[in-house]
Chains A and B, each alone.
Chain A
């Protein structure tokens, strides 16, 4: 949906974007057909309240998206078996991913559906997961009718595919929430008791009452915190077993020392207890973990939404008819019809028809490949020219695409964790604290007594429990992830930001990243008027070259007697003249129309070949009058984006499956030295180059295709750009929602700023630990001081994180 030249005054009645001049009408004006359809559907059902609600809480404007798809495949029993559950009282239940769920008004609009659709008993939206749960009566309404309704009101539905993953996550989320609840309750009650105890210190309190409060604190703290802190203990033990250091280790030591020593002191009836500080620590840590988890979940559900956008249906040939079936229902041997513009769903052999296949996502090649009956086609490629009938030879995981996906999955799961800043620090921290505690114990034992020695050593372990240290990373990362998501940069894991912060080598795939990813006319030699003739001849064709020529000029002339020879060219009669458009060889030899090319034409063709552009000759009445140069054009902002990345200290290299000359030409335009432009690289070659470069430092792979996905998984960090293949999104650590690669430099800057914030946070918390630790060593620490300083250090870290420059909008 491109918005053409717009006048500033008129805003779209649906989405508020400017309306292109051509679409302005007297009454309501719309920026695109999608908005108009959605607006009409809303009006038809009497749901105009949507616009009032939206004005209260306006989301970022975006044109409405709607399709005229019939959703017949949703009624297929094979698909329903997978996606629909039936309750005992005869109602059916399923979940959809809904596109464009952005604001309160969207929730209202979708949840009002039962009023307009008799038979639907409930529709509940979960906006964080872009998900809607539908309960309906299959006897009175079909699922496809519900889907059509949702589509018409601007929320295109897709079957929810990640149910198992979702259940797993839900279990984890609930377990964490229960622990937060227990820790919170423990914190509140221990605080109340602690206030009484602190008041007693100054006001005097009978020994009996003090003992009561101490015992009560212990009864709450030991079971409550012992349970709530289990995640830390589990990670610490896991890290110890793997002989790695993890920040949860000093945390666990501190918590256990505090609980153990406190309980011992309560039983002994003398000495200090630190239950209130410990409760605060456990609660804060759990809450920060929950926030980080929530942000990560959001980014991954957004990525999953994109995954479910790939077609999950196919047209099966049954006699003369085509039947829409779910992809799961296809077995080898079945014949399928693949229409123009559709993704081929299986590996197979072409039975009838000839066409061109865009294998760009699979191989990275920018030019379509011609196929005819008997040729093999692969799943994941796009049919671009004419309908094909394909007999399936392999489906699902047995396809070439499936095998590639399996490789990538295993690579991703073996991705070695980077040594995180805090964990490196944790190692030294444990060493320093345990040595200091030992020295304190020995020194005080020699100087005074063993019990005083133990008291001060334990106090040291408790007050230096690295609460702020543990909060330093999650807080900084949470702030950064939230801001990044609002700018259309989805970061999947917390450590992806740390991975992007150190400069190294950045490999960038050419097609679809620095270039637009589709053919366009970039140069024109000869008669300018011939362009309109060529466009007229190509009017009926859907070949990529035809589309490029049609986009170059528009014409009102029509062509007759059009004859298309696939992969060679097209000829027809326009205004009584015979016009032929096609490859030079075809125009020259195969056509009886042509005489030998004039020297100038020959010169144009060789110049275009030198530049790496595809020459297309236009001949009128047998004379070649013009030559068009076609290539995949650079994005306008690509040069600036690459310069910005280089400016940040990264070495940028092009890595493409396309012809080496084309890659060098693109590199020249981007200011990348020819020796850093790698062409003709297979997916395996990309993987090898990335792996080799990783020996020398951090490697980032930017790409959009299946052919880049393995390299992305092997790189230190993978970045997928807008419109990337599903497997590429899955393999990447960062997904850019905007089509421009300018966001890469922004992401790197944001990652760097995040690491700066993390380091600052770590400094603050270390300063606190040094101060509190020295007081404990000197034996002058008091539980009241600990209780005051511990939250203070955490608040400092929180303030520092919010102040962070990461992903902050300059405007």
Chain B
């Protein structure tokens, strides 16, 4: 089971990367409004010209 000594720390590194990505998402304002996107997904046509 020595592979654990490699895999477990590796898993934690990946988890840390996910946390960093999450922090970036929060800081860039993607989670400021959590109500409207849930509704916007119901529009079946582009409501804006650019994104």
Which residues of A pack against B, CB within 8 Å? 53, 56-57, 103-104, 107-108, 111-112, 114-115, 121-129, 170, 173-174, 177-178, 181-182, 185, 188-189, 192-193, 206, 209, 212-213, 216, 219-220
Contact = CB atoms under 8 A, between A and B. Distances in A.
Nearest to A224: B19
Contacts of B31: 174, 177
B1 A209 contact: yes
B26 A185 contact: no
B26 A212 contact: no
Nearest to B42: A104
Contacts of B35: 126-128
A216 B50 contact: no
A177 B26 contact: yes
A304 B30 CA distance: 23
Contacts of B23: 178, 181-182
A703 to B, nearest CB: 32
A482 to B, nearest CB: 13
Given A111-B47, A114-B48, A129-B33, A213 B8 contact: yes
A29 B50 CA distance: 38
A126 B39 CA distance: 11
Contact of B11 (A57, A114, A174, A189): A189
B21 to A, nearest CB: 10
B27 A174 contact: yes
Nearest to B41: A104
Contact of A107 (B18, B36, B49): B36
A189 B14 CA distance: 11
A174 B30 CA distance: 10
A132 to B, nearest CB: 10
A168 to B, nearest CB: 13
The 4 A-B residue pairs with the shortest CB-CB distance, nearest first, are A104-B39, A128-B35, A181-B22, A111-B47
Contact of A212 (B8, B33, B47): B8
Contacts of A170: 29, 32
Nearest to B22: A181
B1 A206 contact: yes
Contacts of A213: 8
Interface residues of B, number: 30
Contact of B19 (A103, A127, A182): A182
A216 B9 contact: yes
A588 B23 CA distance: 80
Nearest to B8: A216
26 contacts: A103-B39, A107-B40, A108-B42, A114-B48, A114-B49, A121-B49, A126-B36, A127-B33, A127-B39, A128-B35, A174-B27, A174-B32, A177-B26, A178-B26, A178-B27, A181-B23, A185-B15, A189-B11, A192-B11, A193-B8, A206-B1, A209-B1, A213-B8, A216-B8, A219-B12, A220-B15
Contacts of A127: 33, 35-36, 39
A107 B12 contact: no
B2 to A, nearest CB: 9
A103 B16 CA distance: 38
Contact of B12 (A111, A114, A220): A220
Nearest to B34: A128
A790 to B, nearest CB: 23
Contacts of B40: 107, 111
A254 B6 CA distance: 33
A134 to B, nearest CB: 12
Contacts of B12: 189, 216, 219-220
A112 B42 contact: no
Nearest to B36: A127
Contacts of B9: 216
B44 to A, nearest CB: 9
A126 B33 contact: yes
Nearest to A220: B12
A413 B8 CA distance: 51
Contacts of B39: 57, 103-104, 107, 127
A178 B35 CA distance: 18
A19 B11 CA distance: 64
B36 A128 contact: yes
Contacts of A174: 26-27, 31-32
A286 to B, nearest CB: 13
A171 to B, nearest CB: 10
Nearest to B18: A185
Contacts of A209: 1, 4
Which of B18, B34, B47: most chain A CB closer than 10 A? Answer: B47
B32 A56 contact: no
Contacts of B15: 185, 188-189, 220
Given A124-B36, A181-B23, A209-B4, 16 more contacts: A53-B42, A57-B39, A103-B39, A107-B40, A111-B43, A112-B47, A114-B48, A123-B48, A124-B48, A127-B33, A128-B36, A174-B32, A193-B8, A212-B4, A212-B5, A220-B15
Which of B1, B11, B29, B43: most chain A CB closer than 10 A? Answer: B43
Contacts of A57: 39, 42
B15 to A, nearest CB: 5
Contacts of B26: 174, 177-178, 181
B33 A128 contact: yes
A209 B8 CA distance: 11
Nearest to A192: B11
Contacts of B32: 126, 170, 173-174
A258 B10 CA distance: 26
A85 to B, nearest CB: 16
Nearest to A181: B22
Contacts of A115: 49
